Structure 1
Amino acid sequence: MAAPGAQQLLTRLAATERHRLAIAVVCGTLAGAMTWGQMLLFAWLVSALVVNSQSLQSLTSLFVLWLLILPLRGLLSYVQESVSQQASLAIRQRLRGELLSHLAALGPVRLASYHSASLAHQLVEQVEALDGYFARFRVQMWLSVLLPMGVLIITLSLDWLAALFLFLSAPMIPLFMSLVGMGAERLNRDQFAAVARLSGHFIDRVRSLTTLQLFGQTASAKQSVHLASDGYRIRSMRTLRLAFLSSAVLEFFASVAIAVVAIYIGFGLLGYIDYGPSDQLTLFSGLLILLLAPEFFQPLRSLAQHYHDRAAALGAADSLTKLLDEAPPPNRETGDQATPAVSPSEGLLSLKNATVTHPGRGRVLGPLTLKLQAGETVVLTGPSGSGKSTLLQLLAGFIDAGEGQRHCAADLRFAWMDQRPLLIQGTLADNLRLAAPEASDAVLLEALEKAHLGKLIRQLPEGINSAISERGVGLSGGQAQRLALARVFLSQAPLVLLDEPTASLDEATEQAVMSALKALQQEGRSLVIATHHPALMALADRRWHIDQGQFSERESAAEAQHDDT
């Protein structure tokens, strides 16, 4: 069974496009009514020709009317399909925007527990899996009630016994659909989970391809991918097998029900049945009932065909609901709850008795009270694993204070840089414009000069339009760090948080990074630098020290160097 949250998500999304979906239902109902009208005209024409012996010329106007209904039916069906597709597209765009906003609100720390391939699969494939539900099933669900009800009313006015046959056979299809749907929904949910695992498995092997080649493990990696994809194939075929089997059984029930009505009408017209209204059957009423019987089951059969769209949507919505239900840090929510504003006397950013608690580990940081002034440079020191990165994440708002408060200006912007800066596949300019999308080439080159990367760029044949691969393949570690520093210059953020910016760099690159950090100081930026490096400590106005989650403050940078020595 689907989680209640999955159905609630689908209902909430459908409510946002209820007007378009309602138009699609009305158009589908009118198209069905046009079909009934054509059948009524056809039965009347046959009865007039055979029973009343009327000439074809006298019935020409009815033939013309019958032909005119055809394009009108087609137009209504086209509008139904078009409007429902537009509603589905709008819903998926809205949901994808909601997911992206939610991921941004969660921040990088909470997203670290998700594989990037799994998130990509959710944003693309699982959102697309909702298309069939909104474009077809949701509308067909209403049509499967309205159209059979209309056919039943018409049949009841002609012959109540034939209407009774249709009424008694109708529940067979929904009953079987619900039984099949339980298994289909579970299979679709398992299939989505398998695809997410397969995506992560494949991308991990691609990212580690060089390491696998060095250790001679490419054959085993290929075999593992083959086994994972083969498992997905088996699940896919199991889902298709269930879909074909259920369709065959539903067609069988509908065919048997139509055959029963046809037998009743045939024997009634021949006079072999004298029960109820059978002796009142005429060629017109019998033929019309026989023509309407397939139309009674057609909406239900169409609903059964689209029922697997519902199962796929519930399986996808179940996974998406779990992602949306994860609460972001309070200060990163987009709702009413916001970070309390800081007064000028409290500096640029401050923490008051703040703590950080992780599930299963208890309190890992705090309580701590600190204040960061505008234009101030603070160095953050402490043994590895003491909580320096956690404090930086708390200052950035990536994680929330379990107790205490975090105060900052409502519009405070910050720049973040760690040992492995995010670089995307594209040009150097593409990577720089992540921080300043509208920046001109001249502004980009100026930022590169400040980051001491201008000389390298001038040596490249294509300059800032030179391409790099994902994760900065094509650049050294120091060049990647300086490219990230150029983005910091472009961001114009008043607060810059740096986590070990000079780790694993050679002496020349380290000096270039140091010069860039001094340039940031001269621009009046506030810097918080987590480091063990004495040269970086010399840049600081103050020192914050973390040891086993406990916070202390030193005013003197020289004292900081002495303590670490």
Structure 2
Amino acid sequence: MAARRTPRAWLAGLARAERHYLALAVIAGLAVGLLTIAQMATLAWLVTSMLIEGDDPSSLVAGFAILVVMIVLRALAQWGQESAGLTASLRLRARARRELLDHLERLGPVGLADHHTASLANRVVDQVEALDGHVARFLPQMCLAVVIPLVILVVVAWLDWLAALFLLLAAPMIPLFMALVGMGAEKLNREQFDTVSRLSRHFIDRVRGITTLQLFGAGARATRDVYAAADDYRKRSMRTLRLAFLSSAVLEFFAAVAIAVVAIYVGFGLLGYIRFGPAEELTLFSGLLVLLLAPEFFQPLRTLSQHYHDRAAALGAAEGMVTLLDVPPPRGEQAPSLCRTDALFELDAVTVSYSERGRVLGPLDLTIRPGEILGVSGPSGVGKSTLLQLLAGFVAPSSGECRTAADLEVAWMDQRPLLIHGSLADNLRLAAPEADEAALRQALQRAGLGELLATLPEGLATPLGEGGVGLSGGQAHRLALARVFLSPAPLVLLDEPTASLDDDSEARVLEAFSGLVEQGRTLVIASHRAAPLALATRRLSLVADREGERRQAEEVAND
């Protein structure tokens, strides 16, 4: 079993892929620091020239021009630093989101059954966006917070080693408090992201069930529940912000005290009240330059402390994403072998087991041949849906061998078909993105929705709500069937396709199934109802043994 990844290791792996852009951000940041030192030295020289040397400002035009050029170059370097950091962040977030989406695809509908769609959306959208500050600002600033203060410390030590000593003694206070604050900030951010996920699930569940809540007169109570969940999120957000502002205030206090100590030393040294060490050698140029560089010495550390909360937010978000990425996919990583005959599927002593439920299917021997209609029957819980999930590739066999035809495509129609918020055309194009309007109309006609389409003023542009709001149950099933007609897949898997339909709707859907057979498709229908199974050319009856632990299959001819 592979070791579980940590959020830090996962983020570090993503950041390594963007090291070139991060290096550019660091180089641009170093340029900003060096230009700042040169700018302060030029400013101190200009002030000394005018106040001590008595030079006329008109004779210092070259110095003022150099100062303006440095300001412009510094602005360009800052733009380069932010651009490189933002590019690295965009690329890293795209890579993280792609990794999450690929993993969700590997999990499939079976692996995602225990995950709420609101939590998944929160991780793919909000938690991925929370990585922005960590990459764009914190990671480059980690290097700059070490290098730039060291360069400034060397310059200050060259001017006055005692002032440099004051800065050196005060510098560790900021990283110390950053570490202390970070211990609590990471936990708070992790709890905050968990709260957002719960709030999202809570809100979406109430919206989806709003009709039922109104029918039972529970709308006011549901509103109070949503308000309570939102208020809990508000309190947790304020705790995180309170910690951020408090830590910033403490860090600013220590930086201000250190700068004040240096200012007092420079002032009293220039007045001649301090005669210790290099104080007697202080000049207006050296003293003013030391005083100007003191805030710049702490600025990289203060900036790092500000972005330290971006790091805590990123680690809190990464915790949830890594937890999702560590969920093993139910389908196997290894592709199934090819059939030895012209069959579409061959199962040899195949079983499917789950750790919490034990064996749910098999041992099963089954061959599915082109052009046939296989009806699968049996009591609830015997493994009919599991068999279809196995054929669709959503789960992997626990034992036995599963063989499939080369490049086999599968169409799937569930008893609760997925319909998205969008138009009729949008829902149809889930199966065939490149289908033109004529193909869409033909598919609806074959599925028995031609009359309905003719009565819709907006035609294919008619909007639907999530889950098919605006259509009856039978119409939703026929819309899903129209997608099957659009799909070129030779194998069609139908799981309880008429479970919630009335007799008239069921008859129309079954008639459409006959149209699939005329296309040369192979159908596998799992159902409790007799009418869908009556279409089958071959029947597979799944039964449980007396102990109810292992499943076995009996094939019977269809009369």
TM-score with structure 1 setting the length = 0.94
* Structure 1 counterpart of 2:199: 198
* Structure 1 counterpart of 2:348: 352
1:14-53 → structure 2 map (5 Å cutoff): 14-53=15-54
* Structure 1 counterpart of 2:236: 235
* Structure 1 counterpart of 2:170: 169
* Structure 2 counterpart of 1:528: 524
1:169-192 residue CA offsets vs partner (Å, 9 max, x unmatched): 111101100110111110010000
* Structure 2 counterpart of 1:406: 402
1:330-372 residue CA offsets vs partner (Å, 9 max, x unmatched): 44xxxxx431331341621222222222222222222222221
| Partners of 2:296 and 2:501 in 1: CA distance | 75
Deviating more after overlay: 251-260 vs 88-97: 88-97
Task: Say if 1:39 and 1:291, in contact at 8 Å, map to a contact too.
Answer: yes
Deviating more after overlay: 202-211 vs 352-361: 352-361
| Partners of 1:541 and 1:224 in 2: CA distance | 53
Task: Say if 2:375 and 2:540, in contact at 8 Å, map to a contact too.
Answer: yes
| Partners of 1:494 and 1:242 in 2: CA distance | 60
Task: Say if 1:339 and 1:406, in contact at 8 Å, map to a contact too.
Answer: no
* Structure 1 counterpart of 2:435: 439
1:242-257 → structure 2 map (5 Å cutoff): 242-257=243-258
* Structure 1 counterpart of 2:392: 396
Deviating more after overlay: 169-178 vs 502-511: 502-511
1:195-218 residue CA offsets vs partner (Å, 9 max, x unmatched): 000011011111111111111111
Residue 80 of structure 1 and its aligned partner are, at CA, apart by 1.3
1:134-533 → structure 2 map (5 Å cutoff): 134-331=135-332, 337-345=333-341, 347-409=343-405, 411-533=407-529
| Partners of 1:156 and 1:366 in 2: CA distance | 79
Deviating more after overlay: 510-519 vs 356-365: 356-365
* Structure 2 counterpart of 1:56: 57
| Partners of 2:284 and 2:152 in 1: CA distance | 18
| Partners of 1:109 and 1:233 in 2: CA distance | 34
* Structure 2 counterpart of 1:12: 13
| Partners of 2:178 and 2:187 in 1: CA distance | 14
TM-score with structure 2 setting the length = 0.95
What letter matches 1:79 in structure 2?
G
Residue 67, structure 1, aligned to residue 68, structure 2: yes
Secondary structure in 2 aligned to 1:12? helix
What letter matches 2:75 in structure 1?
G
Residue 5 of structure 1 and its aligned partner are, at CA, apart by 1.6
Secondary structure in 2 aligned to 1:472? coil
Secondary structure in 2 aligned to 1:117? helix
Alpha carbons of structure 1 residues 119 and 355: separation in structure 2 relative to 1, 3 Å: same
| Partners of 1:11 and 1:344 in 2: CA distance | 46
| Partners of 1:326 and 1:111 in 2: CA distance | 10
What letter matches 1:514 in structure 2?
L
Task: Say if 1:427 and 1:465, in contact at 8 Å, map to a contact too.
Answer: yes
- Structure 1 unaligned runs (5+)? 332-336, 559-565
What letter matches 1:155 in structure 2?
V
1:436-461 residue CA offsets vs partner (Å, 9 max, x unmatched): 01101111111112212212212222
| Partners of 2:400 and 2:163 in 1: CA distance | 74
What letter matches 1:522 in structure 2?
E
What letter matches 1:505 in structure 2?
L
Deviating more after overlay: 399-408 vs 115-124: 399-408
Residue 153 of structure 1 and its aligned partner are, at CA, apart by 1.3
* Structure 1 counterpart of 2:536: 540
Task: Say if 2:5 and 2:322, in contact at 8 Å, map to a contact too.
Answer: no
Residue 478 of structure 1 and its aligned partner are, at CA, apart by 0.9
Over 6 Å off, 4+ runs: none
Residue 58 of structure 1 and its aligned partner are, at CA, apart by 3.1
Secondary structure in 2 aligned to 1:470? coil
Task: Say if 2:428 and 2:483, in contact at 8 Å, map to a contact too.
Answer: yes
| Partners of 2:423 and 2:44 in 1: CA distance | 70
What letter matches 2:165 in structure 1?
L
What letter matches 1:529 in structure 2?
I
| Partners of 1:18 and 1:511 in 2: CA distance | 62
| Partners of 2:417 and 2:353 in 1: CA distance | 26
Q: Percent identity of the aligned residues?
A: 59
What letter matches 2:63 in structure 1?
L
| Partners of 1:159 and 1:405 in 2: CA distance | 79
| Partners of 1:515 and 1:441 in 2: CA distance | 23
Deviating more after overlay: 84-93 vs 30-39: 84-93
* Structure 2 counterpart of 1:99: 100
Secondary structure in 2 aligned to 1:345? coil
Task: Say if 1:340 and 1:410, in contact at 8 Å, map to a contact too.
Answer: no
| Partners of 1:309 and 1:36 in 2: CA distance | 28
Task: Say if 1:339 and 1:408, in contact at 8 Å, map to a contact too.
Answer: no
| Partners of 1:339 and 1:250 in 2: CA distance | 56
What letter matches 2:447 in structure 1?
A
Task: Say if 2:145 and 2:304, in contact at 8 Å, map to a contact too.
Answer: yes
| Partners of 1:188 and 1:405 in 2: CA distance | 46
What letter matches 2:461 in structure 1?
N
Deviating more after overlay: 89-98 vs 241-250: 89-98
* Structure 1 counterpart of 2:91: 90
Secondary structure in 1 aligned to 2:143? helix
| Partners of 2:181 and 2:462 in 1: CA distance | 55
Residue 32 of structure 1 and its aligned partner are, at CA, apart by 1.4
| Partners of 2:386 and 2:126 in 1: CA distance | 34
Task: Say if 2:351 and 2:364, in contact at 8 Å, map to a contact too.
Answer: yes
Alpha carbons of structure 1 residues 462 and 50: separation in structure 2 relative to 1, 3 Å: closer
| Partners of 2:383 and 2:407 in 1: CA distance | 27
1:399-428 residue CA offsets vs partner (Å, 9 max, x unmatched): 222222322245221111121101111111
| Partners of 2:55 and 2:423 in 1: CA distance | 80
What letter matches 1:402 in structure 2?
S
What letter matches 1:494 in structure 2?
P
Deviating more after overlay: 259-268 vs 300-309: 259-268
Residue 4 of structure 1 and its aligned partner are, at CA, apart by 6.0
| Partners of 2:554 and 2:5 in 1: CA distance | 50
**CA-atom RMSD in angstroms:** 1.6
| Partners of 2:156 and 2:459 in 1: CA distance | 78
Task: Say if 1:496 and 1:525, in contact at 8 Å, map to a contact too.
Answer: yes
- Structure 2 unaligned runs (5+)? 545-549
Deviating more after overlay: 531-540 vs 284-293: 531-540
1:106-121 → structure 2 map (5 Å cutoff): 106-121=107-122
| Partners of 1:366 and 1:220 in 2: CA distance | 47
Task: Say if 2:422 and 2:464, in contact at 8 Å, map to a contact too.
Answer: yes
* Structure 1 counterpart of 2:547: none
Aligned pair count? 551
What letter matches 2:392 in structure 1?
A
| Partners of 1:526 and 1:543 in 2: CA distance | 14
Secondary structure in 2 aligned to 1:513? helix
What letter matches 2:496 in structure 1?
E
Task: Say if 2:342 and 2:405, in contact at 8 Å, map to a contact too.
Answer: no
What letter matches 1:417 in structure 2?
M
